[in-house]
């Protein structure tokens, strides 16, 4: 929005600066002009220089890091501190040390994000399959280049690629790396630019090299014969659909399904998951399985835990007795990230322009680029050999009369005239004359000169061969194929991701979802619990309780609802009604301390149905007259925890608990007896479960708070006598006509 212009009398006059020491200036500019001049260059910079990989398979950040390590001599020798590498890379990469180190981590062997890692790491580099496992700081870790990097930098000094200035024009860096294999298809890569994105899955190095060689022989070859399917560093099982693969190979877009690998340990009745999909993490899997357990949709699981260690990834699932592990895993594949999809979007920069290409088109672009690199290398070698032959031809002229050459040099009075005199005396050019003039005195003998000149025949043959290579495209292709075969043989590894076809998958009938049905639940004062269907309740008589026991609470809900039981030990036990069998009114029900594994002597004092939203709040009233209001969400957990300690404060004995979903009036009674009526809006919610709360009722030392009830459930007739506008308050002495005993007695009369 344009700024308002100041009135003339308020604007600075002459050369008076404003408060910042700058001259005030207001320039109105159209938003479209601003976007075009400011945002579009930024967007293009992100696309071209940061987020989208080029035909060598690297983004600029990857290339700058690897080239710096190459120039540091880290292809051989011992590792160096990562902090040292990061500092050196900042000469090429202006985006800061954190971004450089993150790039190094992703390229490292320790992190495990690539099938062919380029950084040989030592120390904690985290793991790609964990979102919570952080890598160590660069001052603690060490790194060097892996042996396969020799294929990235082969003949980089032989004019195979262009070199450009770095960001401050103080040194040169390669625009691309002359990779001898199609790294664009081997290394997984992802990036988000402005208005576009790129997502490359990795393929097996051997398969890619074989496919590239087959393409060089026949551009119309069937890619699926050699390029079987994507291969992921985390392994797993790829569910192969030939139609989907064909679409990815042709268009560069599509998604493949990958699922985890597991083994069943019969002796311990557990499942061990040791490979997971590349696109997920162990934490995401654990969270989803815990959610299924919590909602009662995975009752077959007794426990699940992460046992990953130095030996590798391992998620362990303890099974209940009689569970079919294969059927359970089929269910988990459907409901959790143990089976996930990897979306492909082969967006690559070709000549500075982003293009989404299929595999065949990528191979076409790579072979064209690689052919040009090989031709440039051959031409570079050819020029070197031609220059050397030229010098040796001049040396042959000297061989005709060595004494004459010595006499010319000795009789020349001025040093500057030596080269011209040699040129005149032997009919050679300046370059040849300079070469002859630089020969040491000890080498001016017939034997040395004959040895040098014998090389001319070999050089002529080599030059002829190099010229033939440049003139014969078939020979250039042969060189590329030989390098591909060499890379595959030297660095190729077996597939990590197993390929499964649809007909190989075991099929299980979809298990029927457990039907939710209405139930009535009953909790007795002694801790007995019953879940009864409405039909059974209509057909039965009175509720049966132990002698001296009676009803504490009753609810109407559904058969698998979540329920929380608060105990007199400041603890709460969470479970689901699906864990209880349907009962009858004529039965005592299940004894909760035994069912829930409570501590010795622990008993239930209150039950709450939190619902899906955990709506409302709990009010805890204590004998000292205080009350604490805690939102029910404080008891919500993401894991399947059955027991929470510190459910409420233990500073004073608990009198009662109330669950309110909306504000209402409550009647509080003391043993004096006194009563007060207050509105729950006067109690502010607290953030911690163990809060002591605030005073609600003042009491004399020998009395304590006795009961709390909703106002509509009391027999108070003169409500204004006991109602207060603020707490704490002493309340009013309870009159006989307002007491419950008086009212019940009157009804009995």
- Residue ending a domain, among 179, 210, 241, is 179
CA dihedral 148→151→156→162, nearest 10 degrees, is -110
Q: What's the CA gap between 544 and 526, in Å, rounded? A: 13
**Is 617 within a domain?**
yes
pLDDT at 11: 47
Same structural domain for residues 585 and 663?
no
* Three-state SS at 192: strand
With H, G, I as helix, E, B as strand and everything else as coil, classify residue 122.
strand
- Joined together, the tokens standing for residue 663 give 């504000």
In terms of domains, do 434 and 458 share one? Answer: yes
Q: What is the pLDDT of residue 509?
A: 57
- Residue whose structure tokens are 């690559």: 348
Checking DSSP bridges between strand 617-622 and strand 626-631, what pairing results, if any? antiparallel
Q: Return the closest-CA partner of residue 691 out of 598, 570, 577.
A: 570
The residues carrying an active-site annotation are 140
Q: For residue range 626-638, list pLDDT tens digits in order.
A: 999 999 989 987 6
User: Strand, helix or coil at 601?
Assistant: coil
Token readout for 485 is 């075969």
Domain count, the chain: 5
- Domain boundary among the residues 554, 577, 608 is at 608
My answer on whether omega of the bond before 673 falls inside 30° of 0, hence cis, is yes
Backbone φ and ψ of 366, nearest 5°: -65, -45
Tell whether 521 and 595 lie within a shared domain.
Answer: yes
Report the distance separating Cα 62 and Cα 58, nearest Å: 6
113, 39 Cβ separation under 8 angstroms: no
Domain shared by 620 and 716, yes or no: yes
User: Angle at Cα 669 formed by Cα 667 and Cα 672, nearest 5°?
Assistant: 155
Q: What is the DSSP string of 370-410?
A: HHHHHHHHHHHHHHHHHHHHHHHHHHHHHHT-HHHHHHHHH
Q: Are residues 697 and 721 in the same domain?
A: yes
| Domain end position, chosen among 337, 362, 395 | 337
Q: Taking CA 682 as the corner, what is the angle to CA 677 and CA 683, rounded to the nearest 5 degrees? A: 110
DSSP 3: P
Residues with Cβ within 8 Å of residue 187, at least 6 apart in sequence: 57, 58, 114, 115, 116, 200, 202
Rounded to an integer, what distance in angstroms lies between the CA atom of residue 359 and that of residue 281? 28
The owner of tokens 């040169």 is 172
Interatomic CA distance for residues 738 and 744, integer angstroms: 11
The crossing angle, in degrees rounded to 10, of helices 82-89 and 97-107 is 120
Q: pLDDT below 70 — which residues of the chain? A: 1-25, 507-515, 638-641, 741-749
H-helix or E-strand spanning residue 163: strand 163-165
- How many Cβ atoms from other residues are within 10 Å of residue 532's Cβ? 21
Are 542 and 484 in the same domain?
Answer: no
The verdict on residue 113 lying in a domain is: yes
| 30 exposure class (CB count in 10 Å sphere: 0-12, 13-18, 19+) | exposed
Residue 439: CB atoms within 10 A of its CB come to 15
Has residue 46 been placed in a domain?
no
Statement to judge: residues 486 and 388 lie in one domain = yes
- Residue 42 in any domain: the answer is no
> Is 16 a member of any domain?
no
Q: What is the CATH number of the domain that holds 455?
A: 1.10.268.10
3-class DSSP state of 225: helix
Residues 457 and 583 both lie in one domain: no
Which residues, listed in sequence order, are joined to residue 618 by a DSSP beta bridge?
Answer: 630, 659
Nearest to 514, CA basis, from 361, 705, 717, 298: 298
Domain that holds residue 447: 370-491
Based on the fold, state whether residues 376 and 325 are members of the same structural domain. Answer: no
Question: Is residue 228 in some structural domain?
Answer: no
The CA distance from 221 to 214, in Å, is: 7
- DSSP secondary structure, 315-372, as one string: EEEEEPTT--HHHHHHHHHHHSTTEEEEEEE-EEEETTEEEE--HHHHHHHHHHHHHH
Q: Is 663 left (phi over 0), alpha (psi -120 to 50) or beta?
A: beta
Residue 740: inside a domain: yes
- From the list 601, 500, 208, the residue with the least C-alpha distance to 367 is 208
How many C-beta atoms lie closer than 10 Å to residue 233's C-beta? 20
Q: Are residues 589 and 675 in the same domain?
A: no
Pairing of strands 571-576, 562-567: antiparallel
Distance of CA 86 to the CA centre of its chain: 22
Residue 720 lies in a domain: yes
pLDDT digits (tens, 9 = 90+) for 563-589: 999 999 999 999 888 888 889 888 899
Tell me the C-alpha distance between 206 and 230, whole Å.
12
- φ, ψ of residue 211 to 5 degrees: the values are -65, -40
Q: Compute the distance between CA of residue 53 and CA of residue 697 in angstroms, rounded to an integer.
A: 71
Give yes or no: residues 618 and 747 share one domain. yes
**CATH number of the domain bearing residue 281:** 3.30.1360.40
- 596 and 620 share a domain? no
Q: Would you call the peptide bond into 332 cis, given omega within 30 degrees of 0 as the criterion?
A: no
Pairing of strands 189-192, 197-200: antiparallel
């Amino acid at each position: 929005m344009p700024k308002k212009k100041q009135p003339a009398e308020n604007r600075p006059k002459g050369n008076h600066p404003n408060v910042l020491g700058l001259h005030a200036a207001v320039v109105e500019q159209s938003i479209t002009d601003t976007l075009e001049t400011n945002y579009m260059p930024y967007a293009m910079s992100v696309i071209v220089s940061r987020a989208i990989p080029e035909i060598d398979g690297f983004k600029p950040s990857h290339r700058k890091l690897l080239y710096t390590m190459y120039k540091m001599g880290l292809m051989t020798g011992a590792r160096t501190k990562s902090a040292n590498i990061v500092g050196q890379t900042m000469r090429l990469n202006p985006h800061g040390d954190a971004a450089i180190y993150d790039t190094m981590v992703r390229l490292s062997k320790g992190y495990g994000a690539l099938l062919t890692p380029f950084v040989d790491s030592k120390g904690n580099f985290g793991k790609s399959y964990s979102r919570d496992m952080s890598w160590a700081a660069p001052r603690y870790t060490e790194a060097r280049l892996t042996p396969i990097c020799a294929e990235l930098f082969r003949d980089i000094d032989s004019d195979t690629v262009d070199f450009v200035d770095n960001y401050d024009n103080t040194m040169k860096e390669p625009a691309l790396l002359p990779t001898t294999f199609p790294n664009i298809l081997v290394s997984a890569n992802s990036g988000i630019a402005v208005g576009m994105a790129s997502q490359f899955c990795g393929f097996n190095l051997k398969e890619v090299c074989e496919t590239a060689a087959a393409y060089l022989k026949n551009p119309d070859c069937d890619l699926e014969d050699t390029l079987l399917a994507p291969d992921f560093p985390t392994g797993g099982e790829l569910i192969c659909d030939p139609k989907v693969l064909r679409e990815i190979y042709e268009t560069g877009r599509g998604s493949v399904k990958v699922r985890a690998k597991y083994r069943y340990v019969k002796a311990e009745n557990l499942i061990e998951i040791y490979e997971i999909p590349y696109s997920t993490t162990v934490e995401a899997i654990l969270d989803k399985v815990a959610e299924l357990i919590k909602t009662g949709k995975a009752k077959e699981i007794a426990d699940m835990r992460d046992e990953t260690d130095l030996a590798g990834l391992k998620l362990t699932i303890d099974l209940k007795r009689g569970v079919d592990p294969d059927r359970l895993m089929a269910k988990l594949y459907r409901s959790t990230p143990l089976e996930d999809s990897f979306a492909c979007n082969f967006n690559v920069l070709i000549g500075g322009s982003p293009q989404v290409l299929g595999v065949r088109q990528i191979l076409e672009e790579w072979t064209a680029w690689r052919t040009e690199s090989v031709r440039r290398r051959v031409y570079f070698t050819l020029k070197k050999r031609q220059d050397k032959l030229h010098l040796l031809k001049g040396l042959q002229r000297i061989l005709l009369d060595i004494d004459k050459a010595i006499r010319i040099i000795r009789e020349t009075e001025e040093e500057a005239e030596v080269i011209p005199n040699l040129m005149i005396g032997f009919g050679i050019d300046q370059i040849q004359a300079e070469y002859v003039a630089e020969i040491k005195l000890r080498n001016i003998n017939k034997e040395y000169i004959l040895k040098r000149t014998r090389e001319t025949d070999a050089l002529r043959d080599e030059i002829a061969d190099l010229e033939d290579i440049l003139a014969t495209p078939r020979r250039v292709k042969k060189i590329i194929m030989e390098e591909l075969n060499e890379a595959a043989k030297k660095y190729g590894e077996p597939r990590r991701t197993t390929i499964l076809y649809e007909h190989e998958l075991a099929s299980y009938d979809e298990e029927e979802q457990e039907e939710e049905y209405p139930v009535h639940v009953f909790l007795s004062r002694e801790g007995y619990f019953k879940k009864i269907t409405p039909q059974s309740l209509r057909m039965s008589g009175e509720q049966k309780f132990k002698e001296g026991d009676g009803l504490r609470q009753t609810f109407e809900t559904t058969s698998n609802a979540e329920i929380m039981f608060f105990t007199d030990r400041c603890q709460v036990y969470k479970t689901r009604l699906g864990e209880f069998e349907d009962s009858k009114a004529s039965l005592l029900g299940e004894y909760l301390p035994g069912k829930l594994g409570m501590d010795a002597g622990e008993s239930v004092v209150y039950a709450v149905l939190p619902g899906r939203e955990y709506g409302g709040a709990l009010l805890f009233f204590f004998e000292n007259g205080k009350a604490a209001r805690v939102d029910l969400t404080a008891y919500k957990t993401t894991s399947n925890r059955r027991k929470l300690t510190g459910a409420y404060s233990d500073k004073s004995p608990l009198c009662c608990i109330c669950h309110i979903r909306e504000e209402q009036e409550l009647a509080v009674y003391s043993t004096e007896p006194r009563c007060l009526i207050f509105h729950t809006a006067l109690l502010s919610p607290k953030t911690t479960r163990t809060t002591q709360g605030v005073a609600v009722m003042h009491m004399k030392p020998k009395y304590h708070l006795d009961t709390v009830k909703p106002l509509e459930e009391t027999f108070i007739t003169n409500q204004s006598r006991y109602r207060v506008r603020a707490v704490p308050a002493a309340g009013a002495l309870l009159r006989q006509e307002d007491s419950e005993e008086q009212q019940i007695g009157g009804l009995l009369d």
